[in-house]
Structure 1
Amino acid sequence: MKLDVTAGGVYVIAPTPFHPDGRVDDASLDRMTDFFLGEARCDGMTILGVMGEAPKLDGAESLALSRRIIGRAGAAGIIVGVTAPGFAAMRALAQGVMQAGAAGVMIAPPSHLRTDDAVVAYFHQAVEAIGPDIPWVLQDYPQLFQVQMTPAVIRRIVMDLPSCVMLKHEDWPGLEKISTLRRFQAEGSMRPLSILCGNGGIFLDFEMARGADGAMTGYAFPDMLAELVRLSKAGERDRAQDLFDAHLPMIRYELQPGPGLAVRKYVLMRRGIIASDAQRRPGTALTETARAEVEYLLARLARHDARARLQAPAKRSAA
């Protein structure tokens, strides 16, 4: 099924599992897909995003990885990040993954855009390149991409380009942006739009209250995010808040610029979801001190959430 404006829930941002020598770990890829879409009860996955180390994969690897996950996902929606320096590579990957059965693609603006008109023009060109029949997600992440998109600019993009069906909202602070976009929709000046939020889930409790449809982020406990979203939609705000509060120290630690991906991969490895926390070079690894801090946070979280009750980690070789 193609992505549309009714999409909601949790589309977990998936890392790319690697062997320590840098090869893609297909067995971990399969196990991760099964866990995210099965036990974790996520509604879909977003692959080849920032957390997926997409720039470290070549075109053939990106397409092969996408096909493998899409083929294993069944009816769950798979969104593929296709952001690229040029439109030829974007078009090739977008068309390839859609032919394989992807639900849609995600596009972020290049960092050199500085005016509202330039931002809108870029997405017009991107849609012309991939084709107007491919549903896509607008990624709004100014902290990383250095492109500011006001609610009015997002409205222009959404109204000009009907194939834009979802906003990945990662502005910070961004709660008022969600409220403004929902006001546009309520007054009829913007068509309906799915809004899923990122930033590691750090504001997900209030983002849901402001009108978000769910989360699109890579926190290492996506099963918690899925539960929080379900509770929020059911109107059980206090239960959702209690769950969020228990995880907040881990969310905060994982959100650090730089070592954040290393933390996420380490926790996913500790949970048995991927075999190794390796990143493809260039990458970072956790120090012994950082790993001890993560273990401390896991132990504290385990007092409130059984999902964090893990066996003691194996000792690492001195080599």
Structure 2
Amino acid sequence: MPRKLTEQTNGVYAIAPTPFRQDGGIDDASLDRLTDFYAEVGCTGITVLGIMGEAPKLDAAEALDVARRVIRRSTLPIVVGVSAPGFAAMRSLATAVMEAGAAGVMIAPPPTLRTDDQIVTYFRQAVEAIGDDVPWVLQDYPLTLTVVMTPAVIARIIGDNPSCVMLKHEDWPGLEKISALRAFQKDGKLRPISILCGNGGLFLDFEMERGADGAMTGYAFPDMLVDVVAHARRGEREAAHDLFDAHLPLLRYEQQQGVGLAVRKYVLMRRGILASDVQRKPAAGLSAAAKAEIELLLARLARHDPRAQLAAAGAA
């Protein structure tokens, strides 16, 4: 059974999309391929039921089935998103996935929180709900969740809750936040904490230089994220930036609000991992023009990274 998350966790945790069949049912075969793929390309772990995993579109039984299936299939540590409107649902899912062998859970703040005290109190109550023996990831994603957590507030949450072992950092701009948190740590104002970064990896090159421990995100080329993190950890700055820069046009395209998941699923389908790029409704699809743009970006990327050399769309 994979070890639990700790404050020393590092590397790349791939945020897994949930594959669906054309009829909207969960595509178990694609989920298995996706799980295997993440291990094959060198990911350190996998995160399921995140925002990009369409978790709100799954019912409780489906969510648990997805988490259990990935946990059973992979030898990698699995983090499960357990954010929910109420603590009863959060507790139920967290308990079930930890019993199934999850390495930890991830909790995002509800959009209704506004003041610092409200935010700090919410996470204290969340820990009371799931149990203080469950290692968990604090998700900081103000662009989508609208909850702004300053470095001082994050430090308060971490200080109040020893079971919080990781920050999923995806503020934007957020480089200075990483620097501030590491400065707190250096000054003894913050205990050690793992920082993995999201936002599709859009700022990973500099986030690593600011003190991040890796990435927790779902870019359709997680193998690139693995390589960039490895280069950065070895001090190979030019190699890290060269590879990152080659992927940046596609990564930027994938990061569009509203259609980003559609782009990600389309590319994973083109890579032969997903059988289809279907999302559960409500969802935004890709137009023919958008697909043509993605194909252009893939062809241009293939000049620098052979992993993007894919058979022509529609080819047998």
Do the structures match in fold with TM over 0.5?
Answer: yes
Question: Secondary structure of the equivalent of 1:11?
Answer: strand
1:252, distance to aligned residue in structure 2 (A): 0.5
Aligned to 2:98: 98
Question: Secondary structure of the equivalent of 1:63?
Answer: helix
Matched, 1:218 2:205: no
Letter in 2 for 1:85: P
Letter in 2 for 1:177: K
Question: Secondary structure of the equivalent of 2:139?
Answer: strand
Superposed structure 1 runs of 4+ greater than 6 Å apart: none
Aligned to 1:52: 53
What aligned pairs does 1:30-179 form with structure 2 within 5 A after superposition? 30-38=32-40, 40-74=41-75, 76-179=76-179
Percentage identity across aligned positions?
A: 69
The one of 24, 27, 35 equivalent to 2:26 is 24
Aligned to 2:249: 249
Compute the TM-score of the two structures, normalised by the length of structure 2: 0.98
Distance 2:51 2:37 in 1: 21
Distance 2:242 2:220 in 1: 18
1:244, distance to aligned residue in structure 2 (A): 0.3
Q: Deviations for 1:247-299, whole angstroms, at most 9, x for unmatched residues?
A: 00001000000010000000000000110000011112100000000000000
Distance 2:66 2:146 in 1: 28
Question: Secondary structure of the equivalent of 1:171?
Answer: coil
Distance 1:115 1:44 in 2: 33
Unaligned ranges ≥5, structure 1: none
Distance 2:8 2:274 in 1: 31
Q: State the Cα RMSD in Å.
A: 0.6
Letter in 1 for 2:116: D
Letter in 1 for 2:245: D
Matched, 1:14 2:16: yes
Q: Deviations for 1:131-181, whole angstroms, at most 9, x for unmatched residues?
A: 000000000000001000000000000011000000000000000000000
Letter in 1 for 2:53: G
Letter in 1 for 2:243: L
Distance 1:168 1:59 in 2: 24
Letter in 2 for 1:308: A
Distance 2:113 2:285 in 1: 32
1:240, distance to aligned residue in structure 2 (A): 0.5
Letter in 1 for 2:215: A
Distance 2:4 2:48 in 1: 16
Distance 1:63 1:13 in 2: 16
Distance 1:233 1:194 in 2: 14
Letter in 2 for 1:20: Q
Distance 2:71 2:283 in 1: 26
Question: Secondary structure of the equivalent of 2:51?
Answer: coil
Aligned to 2:205: 205
Distance 2:134 2:47 in 1: 16
Letter in 2 for 1:127: V
Distance 1:284 1:34 in 2: 27
Letter in 2 for 1:43: T
Letter in 1 for 2:220: A
Aligned to 1:192: 192
Q: Number of aligned residue pairs: give it.
A: 313
Q: Deviations for 1:1-57, whole angstroms, at most 9, x for unmatched residues?
A: 11100100000100000001100000000000000012x100001100011000000
Aligned to 1:278: 278
Distance 2:26 2:180 in 1: 42
